[in-house]
């Protein structure tokens, strides 16, 4: 039986880590660290749960079912499962996440050097997505291209930034904002959503599994084992990156006290620590981080939609890259404004689906438990999403003031209640069937 060598397993873990770490992962922790002040590590715990714990669990859950989101969502029924998969792939693919990798990398990395205008963004995005398409056309070489070349470069750049954050802090920890003084853990928890890594994991699962299979591994048990190891390696790497960036942000109060986002914190710190070469360093770091993530998303989306549409994988790679290029030129502000409500709506059912996948063997009918709980999570997630739109004032007070709604977790309690009812009904039906057979 063929097995992976140690260096291949390490490369697979590096590839998985590199797929996850995009610009969002780099710019959100510094602003959380800056705004949470003395409560930075309490906020960090909440952030790590949603930005590391959930994505790693998702990779494990997908590995158990062969990497396919369709298999994971099978308890929802064919139509509902396919709809959820399509929405997830579009959200973390050509509609939001893939274009965002280009706009964020340009805004944070190159705009300070070239100027923030439509023409520099257009030129950058054309070159950027040409590289993305070229690498994505050869998915069988992804482990070599990303795991052995691009990922180590990204890791070295992140390591340099992380070591500097601890050895050369910009200053003492400042005061927390009023919001973080009141609820540091829950705000960290919600900010972990913004990385989109749980949704990304649902998409990357098939990329990771295919990378393993490209090395001739056919045993489902070994595929699952290597995917779990890759997820754990990526999880450890993410924790190290986030902890260093939290420390960076927490110590940047003196140089970035008025920063409105993590990009400004990073830019201020890098300029303060590395001088005039800081902007170039930051540009390379952000571009590498975004490029690898964009390649993974494009490969995954093309792989998935080639099974639904009458187009080949390579044709879809070119279509997705071209569409992402067009969307990216709408600008970062518009992309974020449109994506926040949609992500807020679809995150809860995805979290529920992943969490319940580990307990399906406990129930008589997984579909009878998973489907209603996921539906409840979606409905209440939509309420949270509506509050992020311009029409939020039209939401009835009874829905706007649900428990945990201020933390965008209005879906949590109803989902737990729905789970209890569904499990009770499942046990009841199992008991009736047992008595009828007796």
Q: pLDDT tens, 43-92? A: 999 999 989 999 999 988 888 887 778 888 989 988 988 898 898 888 88
Q: Residue 141 has what pLDDT?
A: 66
The answer to whether 61 and 354 are in contact (CB under 8 A) is yes
How many C-beta atoms lie closer than 10 Å to residue 403's C-beta? Answer: 11
Q: Give residue-wise pLDDT tens across range 308-351.
A: 999 999 999 999 999 999 999 987 667 777 877 888 888 899 99
The answer to whether 321 and 133 are in contact (CB under 8 A) is yes
The number of CA neighbours under 13 Å toward the Cβ of 389 is: 15
Q: Residue 143 has what pLDDT?
A: 55
Q: Residue 48 has what pLDDT?
A: 94
The number of CA neighbours under 13 Å toward the Cβ of 195 is: 31
- Give how far the C-alpha of residue 199 lies from the chain's centroid of Cα atoms, to the nearest Å: 5
Q: Residue 70 has what pLDDT?
A: 83
Alpha-helix runs per DSSP H in 214-312: 220-250, 253-256, 262-274, 278-305
Q: Residue 39 has what pLDDT?
A: 93
List CB contacts of 263: < 8 A, sequence separation 6 or more.
Answer: 27, 104, 107, 108
List CB contacts of 187: < 8 A, sequence separation 6 or more.
Answer: 32, 36, 43, 46, 179, 180, 407
To 10 degrees, what angle do helices 313-328 and 97-105 make? Answer: 50
Q: What pTM did the predictor assign?
A: 0.82
The answer to whether 100 and 332 are in contact (CB under 8 A) is yes
Closest CA to 292 of 3, 8, 21, 13: 21
Q: Which residues of the chain have pLDDT under 70?
A: 1, 23, 140-148, 150-151, 332-333, 438
Q: Residue 44 has what pLDDT?
A: 95
């Amino acid at each position: 039986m063929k097995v992976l060598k140690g260096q291949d397993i390490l490369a697979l873990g590096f590839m998985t880590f590199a797929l996850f770490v995009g610009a969002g992962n780099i710019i959100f922790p510094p602003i959380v660290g800056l705004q949470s002040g003395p409560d930075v590590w309490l906020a960090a715990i909440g952030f790590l749960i949603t930005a590391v714990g959930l994505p790693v669990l998702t990779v494990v859950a997908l590995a158990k079912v062969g990497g396919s989101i369709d298999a994971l969502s099978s308890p929802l029924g064919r139509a509902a499962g396919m709809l959820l998969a399509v929405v997830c792939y579009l959200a973390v693919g050509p509609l939001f996440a893939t274009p965002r990798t280009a706009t964020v990398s340009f805004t944070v990395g190159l705009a300070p050097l070239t100027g923030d205008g439509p023409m520099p963004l257009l030129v950058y995005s054309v070159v950027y997505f040409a590289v993305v398409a070229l690498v994505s056309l050869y998915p069988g070489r992804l482990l070599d291209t990303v795991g052995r070349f691009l990922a180590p470069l990204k890791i070295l750049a992140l390591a340099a930034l992380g070591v500097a954050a601890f050895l050369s802090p910009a200053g003492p920890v400042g005061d927390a904002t009023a919001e973080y003084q009141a609820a540091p853990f829950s705000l960290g928890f919600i900010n972990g959503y913004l990385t989109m890594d749980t949704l990304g994991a649902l998409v990357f699962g098939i990329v990771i599994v295919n990378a393993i299979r490209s090395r001739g591994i056919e045993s489902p048990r070994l595929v699952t084992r290597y995917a779990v190891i890759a997820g754990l390696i990526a999880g450890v790497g993410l924790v190290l990156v986030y902890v260093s960036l939290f420390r960076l942000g927490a110590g940047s109060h003196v140089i970035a006290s008025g920063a409105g986002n993590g990009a400004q914190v990073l830019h201020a710190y890098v300029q303060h620590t590395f001088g005039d070469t800081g902007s170039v360093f930051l540009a390379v770091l952000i571009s590498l981080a975004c490029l690898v993530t964009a390649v993974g998303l494009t490969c995954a989306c093309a792989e998935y939609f080639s099974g639904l549409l009458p187009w080949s994988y390579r044709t879809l790679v070119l279509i997705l890259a071209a569409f992402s290029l067009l969307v990216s030129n709408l600008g970062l502000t518009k992309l974020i404004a449109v994506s926040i409500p949609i992500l807020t709506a679809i995150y809860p059912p995805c979290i529920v689906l992943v969490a319940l996948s580990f307990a399906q063997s406990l129930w008589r009918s997984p579909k009878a438990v998973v489907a209603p709980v996921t539906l409840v999570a979606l409905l209440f997630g939509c309420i949270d999403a509506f509050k992020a739109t311009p029409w939020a004032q039209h939401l009835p007070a009874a829905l706007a003031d649900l428990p945990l709604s201020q933390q965008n977790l209005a879906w949590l309690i109803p989902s737990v209640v729905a789970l209890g009812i569904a499990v009770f009904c499942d046990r009841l039906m199992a008991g009736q069937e047992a008595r009828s057979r007796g």
